[in-house]
Amino acid sequence: MSNENIIEVENLVKKFGDFTANDNLTFTVKKSEIFGFLGANGAGKTTAIKILCGILFPTSGKVSVAGFDIYKERNKIKENIGYMSQGFSLYEDLTVKENIEFYAGIYGVKRKVIKTRLNELVEKLDIADLKNKFVRDLPLGWKQKIAFSVAIFHKPKVVFLDEPTSGVDPITRRQFWDLIYEAVESGITVFVTTHYMDEAEYCDRISIMVDGKIDAIGTPAELKTMHNAKNMDDVFIKLARKQSEENK
Amino acid sequence: MNNSIEIYNLNKSFKSVKALDNLKLTVEQGGFYGLIGPDGAGKTTLMRIITGLLLPDSGDIMIGGLNPVTDYRKLRLKLGYMPGKFSLYQDLTVEENLSFFAKVFDTTIKENYHLIAPVYSQIEPFKNRRAGKLSGGMKQKLALSCALVHKPEILILDEPTTGVDAVSRREFWEMLNQIRQKGITILVSTPYMEEAVLCDKISLMFDGKIIDSGTPTEITSKFKEKIYILKTTRLREILKIARQMRELKSVNAFGQNLHLVVRDNLVGIHEIESFIKKACDYEFEIEPSQADIEDCFIDYLVS
Amino acid sequence: MKRFRAFLNKEFLHIFRDVRTMMILFLIPVFQVLIFGYVIKNEVKDAKVAVLDFSGDVMTAALVAKLDAANDIKIVKTLYSYEEIEASFKANEIKAAIVFESDFAKKFNTEKTVDLQIILDASDPNLANLLNSYISAIANNYARDKNIGAAKINVSVEPRMLYNENLVSAYMFVPGTMALILMVITALMSSISIVKEKEMGTMEILLVSPLKPIQIIFGKLAPYAILSIINAVSIIIIGNLVFGVPVLGSPILLLFVSFVFIMMALSLGLLVSNIAKSQQVAMFISMFGLLLPTMLLSGFIFPIKNMPLALQYISHIIPAKYFLSALKSIMLKGLGISYIWKEISILIFMTIAFIGISIKKFKIRLDS
């Protein structure tokens, strides 16, 4: 982790009509950090991720990703990020190799580079026998691992992962996190959402969103001390309880 | 008749894929039973066979004393079913959805209000809102209300908490507990291992098979290897080091801690300690521990 | 019954809540009739006409000049034989030809009666019909102006292209639009609404509920049947009020035939919903399997008699063909049931066949 900020968000506001999805968000994410972006369903996480990925304009506020301004340099941002979600990962009717070639191609990775990286990847994941299989024939765990490898194939500065491990078996889930660690070591910043509270502990820093606002931000240890909680699950529950009492 | 669900030698294949492999499952009347396993384990297929939506290739099945293959008509009155996707009419309001399902079963919201109250009362303030505009947690509560409104004997819930945040998940389990108090048998599936302990009895499923069944404590007490818990602030670093120790069968992160499983009782706590200390100066603590469900599951997967 | 009512109620809520569905149901039919109607009206302008004059006297010259001066007719060619007429039609140079018999003026003056023949391209029936009435009117006016006793010009009409000899189909757009719209609403919309339940996962709950499959099917189809009948009636009314398309036969028979066709279309929709697993597939099948044939092979846009033989055979299995033929008989010829029982029976037979297949294929369980 360095001190260079790869994501800078200042007073970000996003409104849909009279509904405020993101209410004055301010946070930074450092280079090569695993940043856990937690929150209840409907708290505004997806909206914020869409803004950071450059596919949605904020109503107001300053946002820069990978050193580029969200308003003026959206295309630059898109070149420098990777994205993976639980819903969409890979084309089911293409083979693993074809998927990789396609994604690498649209990010402008040169053919020769694709070839070498593909070979490296096949070796690393030990997928020589899966390479030419259709994605639809792969077990879910493999799909997710390969989808992640595809998302960082063009060596982006930041990768956004939206519930990447949903429904995956416990071993694959941990293997997936091993891949995340590896990516971080190679200098990629990881921005991840999850509903598994144990995974929150694996992040360097986390933010917890409640009703469009960031309610807490810090390292897992800091948050646990601050809320006098024994684990992240506890922190999460305490924050939500506090919120619902305030509403009353 | 003490069992709500009795299944023996159940097999189901889709083309060449074996979706369910010789399953046996019994759920007592009034029981609170969990099917625990990742996506693709066969949980949904099993539930669809129980509800009569799919036909088994072979096997003996009795649900509420009825055979879902031949008596599916009568069985439908006894079952409440909540499929994996929150199956609601997005363009109807909360109340319209609920009242539709009530009428389909020849009843009214009022008649069984006491039953759905613990769930429905939480979304009742929004009863005129379209279902499509509800948050994930609220959709889940509405779907549960719809499955309950006809006072079923057996409630079948297919991954009701998947993709739902930790707080809503916890609330949901609390609601299930209240429903259970009313004498309704519950069969619920989930990919979240930590939810296993909230059920009376569970079956761990993987790849179309039931790995193990019983109460959560029965299952965890079968765990034979020694298991240690390691606490440290340098999780990632120590994980790497510990994985190099050949006497450890598996080393995995469990939230803020590591779980170390010893292979065939080869080493004790001191050997592990000195192995890690030799490799680094990070601070850590090790203590003996009990396996939880996730440990059991991982153990099955690695052996 | 209470269950079924609850189901119907829900279906209507779906329909009335969806702006797109409402548009397809109520706005598009009206627009389609209006557009077809106006397009056809505007077509008659400077229609090209040729003259074959066996007489070549003062009177024929004067008549030709009068015709050419008329707003909507343009004399573009003078011909010298019947063969040339055929050739000009084939080259699409003219829409009609006027033939004056020899000694035109003499016969008119002495015999008090003379023949004028109009040969029309009946493949464009709307235009042919209009040209016929135009030319006849001009010729008769001319004869009246001459005012020589009771002398008159006998106008005889000879349509070419063999098809559609009686030219009644100038108003074919009303039956055609009706067939098309009833097909869209009933087959397309009902199949999509069934498949949507499969996609949303709600079908799973319905199948597990005590609703019988037959209740689900009828509950899904009934709203569209009702709405289609409303549509059929409004199309007939608009056609009549705005464009003067007549209903010469029995309105009750007309409604009955429409109802039979609606049932047929619903059974097709049911069949589509059985095959299709997603809304897109349902849409695709309905578009290419049902709507295009209805438009192209039923005789609505292209006359069946002009089609290649293979397509003519295919047209026999297009339900809309029978519907159009029955509608034409009732609305434009004023014929009774004894003339159209064949069409009606074929439609009913088709309905029964489609429903039979659908019920056999309707899955009370999920696909495995």
In a domain, B132, yes or no: yes
Q: C221 exposed, middle or buried (CB, 10 Å; 0-12, 13-18, 19+)?
A: buried
Among all residues of chain C, which has the CA nearest to that of B100? C6
Distances (CA, A) of A183 to A143, A148, B263, C260, C291: 18, 10, 30, 66, 53
**Residue where a domain terminates, one of B215, B237, B272:** B215
**Residue where a domain terminates, one of B167, B192, B215:** B215
In a domain, B220, yes or no: no
B124 and B33 in one domain? yes
Among all residues of chain A, which has the CA nearest to that of B300? A171
Among all residues of chain B, which has the CA nearest to that of A44? B135
DSSP run (H or E) holding C250: none
Mean pLDDT, range B180-184, rounded to an integer: 91
- State the pLDDT at residue C163: 37
Interface membership of B214 toward C (CB under 8 Å) = no
Question: pLDDT tens digit string along B100-116?
Answer: 999 999 899 999 999 99
B161 and B20 in one domain? yes
Interface membership of B132 toward A (CB under 8 Å) = no
In a domain, B146, yes or no: yes
Beta carbons of B164 and A195 less than 8 Å apart:
yes
> Contact, A211 vs A48, CB < 8 A?
no
B113 and B9 in one domain? yes
**Residue where a domain terminates, one of B215, B245, B269:** B215
Band (C135; pLDDT cuts 50, 70, 90): confident
Interface membership of C5 toward B (CB under 8 Å) = yes
Beta carbons of C209 and B55 less than 8 Å apart:
no
Mean pLDDT, range A186-209, rounded to an integer: 92
Helices (H), chain A: 45-52, 74-79, 96-106, 111-125, 140-151, 170-185, 197-201, 220-226, 232-247
- The residues pairing with B130 across neighbouring beta strands, listed in sequence order, are B93
In a domain, B221, yes or no: no
B250 and B152 in one domain? no
In a domain, B293, yes or no: yes
Question: pLDDT tens digit string along C183-207?
Answer: 887 888 889 888 988 888 788 878 8
Band (C158; pLDDT cuts 50, 70, 90): low
For every residue of chain B, which 3-state class applies, written as one string? CCEEEEEEEEEEEECCEEEEEEEEEEEECCCEEEEECCCCCCHHHHHHHHCCCCCCCEEEEEECCECCCCCHHHHHHHEEEECCCCCCCCCCEHHHHHHHHHHHCCCCCCCCHHHHHHHHCCCHHHCCCEHHHCCHHHHHHHHHHHHHCCCCCEEEECCCCCCCCHHHHHHHHHHHHHHHHCCCEEEEEECCHHHHHHCCEEEEEECCEEEEEECHHHHHHCCCCCEEEEEECCHHHHHHHHHCCCCEEEEEEECCEEEEEEHHHCCCHHHHHHHHHHHCCCCEEEEECCCCHHHHHHHHHHC
Interface membership of A40 toward B (CB under 8 Å) = yes
Interface membership of A170 toward B (CB under 8 Å) = yes
End-to-end CA distance of chain A: 41
In a domain, B37, yes or no: yes
Q: Please, what is the Cα angle at C7 between C224 and C184, to 5 degrees?
A: 15
The residue among B103, B111, B140, B159 with the most chain C CBs within 10 A of its CB, best to mutate, is: B103
Q: A20 exposed, middle or buried (CB, 10 Å; 0-12, 13-18, 19+)?
A: middle
Mean pLDDT value across chain A: 88
Interface membership of B104 toward A (CB under 8 Å) = no
> Contact, C180 vs C300, CB < 8 A?
yes
Least confident of A136-150, A206-220, C352-366: C352-366
> Contact, B82 vs B160, CB < 8 A?
yes
B149 and B202 in one domain? yes
B204 and B88 in one domain? yes
B284 and B199 in one domain? no
Enter the tokens of residue B210. Answer: 């039931």
Q: Find chain C residues with C-beta within 8 A of B13's C-beta.
A: none
- State the pLDDT at residue C167: 44
The residue among B54, B94, B104 with the most chain C CBs within 10 A of its CB, best to mutate, is: B104
> Contact, C276 vs C191, CB < 8 A?
yes
3-state helix, strand and coil shares in percent for chain C, rounded to the nearest 5? 70, 10, 20
What is the reported pTM? Answer: 0.77
Mean pLDDT, range C249-274, rounded to an integer: 91
Please tell me the distance in Å from A182's CA to the nearest CA on chain B. Answer: 11
> Contact, B178 vs B206, CB < 8 A?
no
- Look up the CATH number of the domain holding residue B259: 3.30.70.100
- For the cut 80, the answer to whether the pLDDT of residue C171 exceeds it is no
B290 and B159 in one domain? no
- The residues pairing with C255 across neighbouring beta strands, listed in sequence order, are none
Band (C126; pLDDT cuts 50, 70, 90): low
Going by C-beta distance under 8 Å and a sequence separation of 6 or more, which residues neighbour residue B271?
B247
More confident call, B168 vs B10: B10
- For the cut 70, the answer to whether the pLDDT of residue B1 exceeds it is no
- State the pLDDT at residue C168: 43
Beta carbons of B162 and A166 less than 8 Å apart:
yes
B262 and B205 in one domain? no
- Look up the CATH number of the domain holding residue B195: 3.40.50.300
- For the cut 80, the answer to whether the pLDDT of residue B238 exceeds it is yes
Mean pLDDT, range B131-145, rounded to an integer: 87
**Structural domains of chain C sorted by starting position, each given as residue range(s) with its CATH number in brackets:** 2-39+169-361 (no CATH), 47-162 (3.40.1710.10)
- State the pLDDT at residue B264: 87
The residue among B16, B17, B39, B303 with the most chain A CBs within 10 A of its CB, best to mutate, is: B39
B277 and B202 in one domain? no
Report how many domains make up chain B: 2
Mean pLDDT, range B2-27, rounded to an integer: 92
Enter the tokens of residue C220. Answer: 């899904």
Enter the tokens of residue C118. Answer: 């109009």
> Contact, C197 vs C18, CB < 8 A?
no
Beta carbons of C201 and B103 less than 8 Å apart:
no
Interface membership of C18 toward B (CB under 8 Å) = yes
The residue among B15, B17, B236 with the most chain A CBs within 10 A of its CB, best to mutate, is: B236
Q: Find chain A residues with C-beta within 8 A of B166's C-beta.
A: 195, 197, 233, 236-237
Q: Which residues between 85 and 124 in chain A have a beta carbon less than 8 angstroms from any beta carbon of chain B?
A: 86
Mean pLDDT value across chain B: 91
Domain holding B148, by residue range, is 3-215
Q: A146 exposed, middle or buried (CB, 10 Å; 0-12, 13-18, 19+)?
A: buried
B49 and B15 in one domain? yes
Letter string b/e over residues B37-58, b meaning 16 or more CB atoms within 10 A of that residue's CB: bbbbbbbbbbbbbbbbbbebee
In a domain, B294, yes or no: yes
Token pair 């010893």 is found at B262
Please tell me the distance in Å from B20's CA to the nearest CA on chain C. Answer: 13
- The residues pairing with B131 across neighbouring beta strands, listed in sequence order, are none
Distances (CA, A) of A132 to A120, A127, A135: 16, 9, 9
> Contact, C250 vs C331, CB < 8 A?
no
Q: Find chain A residues with C-beta within 8 A of B206's C-beta.
A: 169
Query: How far is residue B225's CA from residue B233's CA, in Å, rounded to a whole number?
Result: 26
In a domain, B222, yes or no: no
Band (B196; pLDDT cuts 50, 70, 90): very high
- The residues pairing with C205 across neighbouring beta strands, listed in sequence order, are none
Which chains neighbour B (Cβ–Cβ under 8 Å, 3 or more pairs)?
A: A, C
B265 and B174 in one domain? no
Interface membership of B191 toward A (CB under 8 Å) = yes
Q: Find chain B residues with C-beta within 8 A of C3's C-beta.
A: 103-106
Helices (H), A71-169: 74-79, 96-106, 111-125, 140-151
Interface membership of B91 toward C (CB under 8 Å) = yes
